[in-house]
Structure 1
Amino acid sequence: MRISCLQSNLSKALAAANRAVSTRTNLPVTQNILLKTHDSMLRVSATNLSIGVTTSIGTQIELDGGISVPADLLLTFINSLPDEKVDMTLEGDQLNIICGSFETDLKGIPEEEFPPIPTVEEGEALEISASELRQAIDHVTFAAATEDSRPVLTATKVEVKGDSFTFAAADGFRLAVYEGKLESTVDVDSLEFTIPAKSMSEVRNLLGNAGGTVQFTVTPNENKALFKIGDIEMFSQLQEGTFPNYNQLIPEKFETRAVIANSELLKSVQTAFAYGRSGSGIVRLRIKNDEGHANVHVSGETEGAVFRAEVPATIEGEDSNIAFSGRYLVEVLQALGDCDVAIETTSSSSPGVVRAVEKSNYVHVVMPMFVQW
C-alpha cells in the first residue's frame, strides 16, 4: 500500500473510528484501527465486536492495500502533525508514515485478521433529523442501567409507528421516555426493538453538532442496526430480552405539582447533592405554600453540615415532602436545560415525576428515597 492524504482529514476519520476501539486486551486486534484502500478512498474502521465504525476520506492511491495498526499510537502521531500531506507506505507488516519532518514506523496486524464489521443492507429504514436524535438521546440514555444484572435495562427501548418514535430507558429506580418525529413515515405498522444505551451514546458522540438527517436501518430478526451520519457508518448489535412495560410505571395523577425555573432549582439541587455526596447522596424537597409564599425547600446534609435553600415556585395542590437520589435529580434537570420544570408528587413513598412545562413529549419518573421527616 502506498497512499497520500491530508492530515486534517485523516485526524477526523481516526477520531470517529476510535469511538469503537476496544479497551480490553483479550483480542489485541480490536485495539487497532484498520486502514484499507477501497473504491479510490481510504477506509478507516474499528470495532470492539459490539459496535463498529467505518468512514472514508479522499486519498491519492499509488498502490492498494490494507493493514491494522495500534489505535493509540496512530492517533498520537497523526494528531501531533501539522496540517500537511501525509504519506503512508506499507512494507510487509510495517506501516511507514511521513509528514514533513515527522516520521514513524508502526508494526501492524494483517487486514485478514481484523474482525469483519457486519453490514445491514436490508431492513426497516428510518430517517430522523440530527437535532431530534440528539434531543432523544440526551433526554433518555443516561437513565439506562450501567450494571449487567438485568442486561435489557442497559438498553434503550425504541418504538416506531407511522412518523413517530419513542425512546425509553430505565434502571429499576428511574424511567425516561421521549417521543419524537421521524422525517418520513415507515412502511410497517409498528416496529419495536432495544439497542444498547452505550451504542446510543456513541451515536451521540459521532453526531456532535452536525445538522442534516441520520439514516437508521434496523433488522430486528438479525439483531443488527446501522446508523449513517454523513460519511460515517456505525454498526451496533441489538439487545436481546424483553423490556418492561414502562407505560405502567408512569403515574396517571398527582396530588401536588410545583413549577420552578430550572436554572434556580438545578443550582440548589447540585449544592444539596454536594453536601450529601460523601454519605447517602439524598436531596430532600419540601413543597410548601408558606402564608402565600410558594417555595420548594431544597436541602442536603452530611455529618456536621446542612445545606438549605428556598426556590420560588407555583404550587398546585397540597404541601408535600419527598426525597430523591441527588445524582438522579441532577441528571434529569441537566437534561431538561433552560426551562420551567414541573415536579409532580403523590406521596413521599410514591414515584415522583419531573417534566419540562413546555415539553409534553418527555416524562421522567424517579423512585423516592425513604427518609425521616
Structure 2
Amino acid sequence: MKFVCDSLDLSDAAVTVVKACATRTLTPVLECIRMQVKNDKVTLSAYDGELSIEKSFKADVLEEGEACVNGRLFTDFIGKISHTQITVGTEEKGLEIRYDDSRSFMQVLPADEFPLLDCGDVAGSFEVEEGKFKNLVARSIFCCATDDSRPILKGCLLETEGKILRASALDGYRMATTECEIKNGDDGKKIVCPARTLGEIARMLDGGEKTLTVEFSQNHLRVVVDETTLISRLYTGEFVRRENIFPPSFTTEVCVKRNELIESVERASVLIRGEKNNLVIMEVKSGAVYVTANSEIGNVAEKVSAELEGKEIRIAMNGKYVLDALKALDEDEIVMYMNTPIAPFVLKNKENKYGAYLILPVRTTS
C-alpha cells in the first residue's frame, strides 16, 4: 500500500472518522482507522461496535492495499504536519509516513481483522432538508438519557407521519418532542437512533436546503453526505409513548417573553451553581412570573411580566432543564402550561407549536 496526497486531505478525513474509534475495548482493532487504497482513492474508516464512519478522498495511488493504524495517534500525528505533500505506505517496520525531508513509522494491525458493518436490506427511508434535520436534532437530543440504566432512552425516537418527521427524547426527568417537514419518505416508520449518532450526523451537515437522505433497515441506519458514509446500529425495544406522558389538559397557562425569562433564570442559576437540583422557584401570579433562588452564597428574586390564564401556582424546578427548553424554542413569546406543583409542566412556542418540552418539577418540603 502506498499513496501520495495533500496532508490536509488526509488530516480532514482522519478527524472525521476518528470519532467512531473505540476508546475502551478489549479488541485493539476497534481503536484503529482502516486505510483502503484503491484506484485513485483513499478511504478511511472506523467502527466502535455501534457507529461506523467512512470518508474517501482523491490521491495519487502508487500501490493498492490496506492497513489499520491506531486512530487517535494517527489523527493527532497527521494534524501536526504542516500543509505539504505526504507519502504514506506500508513497510516491514509498519506504516511509513514521509513529509518534506522527514519520515516516521507507526505500528499497524492486519486489515482483515477489521469488522465490516453493513446497513442490510433497506426497510425505509426519508428525504429532508439538511437545515431542517440539523435543527430537529438540536431541539431534541439534549433530552436523551446519558446512563445505561435504560439503554433505549439513550436514543431518540424518529417517526414519519405523512410529510412530517417527529423526534421524541426523554431521560426520566424531561421529554422533548419536535417535528419538521420532509420531502419524501415512507409513512408510519419508527426507529430509535442513538443520540450520539444523530449528533455526528448533524456535525456532518452544512445546513441549508440541500437534501439529506436517511435510509434504515431493521437494525441499522445509513446516511451519505458527500464523500462521508455513516452507518449506525439502532436501538430495539418499545419507546415511551408521548401520549402517555403529556397531560391532556392544564389549569394554568402563562405567556412570557422568552429572552426575559432566559435572562432571569440564568441570573438565578449563577447563585445556585453546584447546588443539588439547580433549584429555581417560579411563582405565577396575575401579570407576572416571580423567579427566586436561594443558596448559601446568596439569593435572587426577580419579576418577569407575563399574561396568566387560569390558576395561580408556585412550582419548583431544575433551572438547567428549564433553560435547555427555553433555548430550544425560538419565538419571542413562549407559553408554560401547568397543573399542580408536583405535576409535569410543558413549555411551547406561542404560535408555532412544533416543539414541546415536558419537565418534572422538583418536590420541596415547603
CA displacement, residues 31-69 of structure 1 (integer Å, 9 cap, x when unaligned):
111111134210010010101000100111010011111
Given the two structures, how large is their TM-score scaled by the length of structure 1? 0.92
Inter-partner Cα distance in structure 2 for 1:339 and 1:94: 59
The match for 1:58 is: 58
Find the residue that maps to 1:313 and give its secondary structure: strand
Inter-partner Cα distance in structure 2 for 1:285 and 1:155: 31
In the alignment, residue 248 of structure 2 is paired with which amino acid? Answer: E
Q: How many residues align?
A: 365
Inter-partner Cα distance in structure 2 for 1:40 and 1:211: 31
In the alignment, residue 340 of structure 2 is paired with which amino acid? Answer: S
| 1:295 to 2:288 alignment | yes
Q: Is the 8 A contact 2:130 2:206 kept in 1?
A: no
Structure 1 segments of 4+ aligned residues over 6 angstroms from their partners: none
The match for 1:255 is: 251
Q: Which moves more between the two structures, 260-269 or 335-344?
A: 335-344
The match for 1:22 is: 22
Indicate how the Cα distance of structure 1 residues 82 and 23 shifts in structure 2: closer, same or farther if over 3 A, else same.
same
From 310, 319, 322, the equivalent of 1:326 is 319
What is the CA distance between 1:337 and its match in structure 2?
A: 4.5
Inter-partner Cα distance in structure 2 for 1:205 and 1:133: 11
Inter-partner Cα distance in structure 2 for 1:31 and 1:178: 35
Given the two structures, how large is their TM-score scaled by the length of structure 2? 0.94
Inter-partner Cα distance in structure 1 for 2:172 and 2:21: 30
In the alignment, residue 313 of structure 2 is paired with which amino acid? Answer: S
The CA RMSD measured in Å over matched residues stands at 1.9
| 1:274 to 2:270 alignment | yes
CA displacement, residues 212-244 of structure 1 (integer Å, 9 cap, x when unaligned):
222111112xx1111112221111111011111
Q: Is the 8 A contact 2:39 2:64 kept in 1?
A: no
| 1:347 to 2:343 alignment | no
Inter-partner Cα distance in structure 1 for 2:275 and 2:284: 24
Q: Is the 8 A contact 1:275 1:302 kept in 2?
A: yes
What is the CA distance between 1:82 and its match in structure 2?
A: 2.3
Find the residue that maps to 2:24 and give its secondary structure: coil
What is the CA distance between 1:295 and its match in structure 2?
A: 2.0
Inter-partner Cα distance in structure 2 for 1:183 and 1:274: 43
Indicate how the Cα distance of structure 1 residues 119 and 252 shifts in structure 2: closer, same or farther if over 3 A, else same.
closer
The match for 1:200 is: 198
The match for 2:83 is: 83
| Structure 2 residue runs without a partner (length 5+) | none
The match for 1:43 is: 43
CA displacement, residues 151-170 of structure 1 (integer Å, 9 cap, x when unaligned):
22121111113222111011
Q: Is the 8 A contact 1:213 1:229 kept in 2?
A: no
The match for 2:182 is: 182
| Structure 1 residue runs without a partner (length 5+) | none
Find the residue that maps to 1:112 and give its secondary structure: helix
Find the residue that maps to 2:142 and give its secondary structure: helix
Find the residue that maps to 2:139 and give its secondary structure: helix
Q: Is the 8 A contact 1:29 1:113 kept in 2?
A: yes
Identity of paired residues, percent? Answer: 23
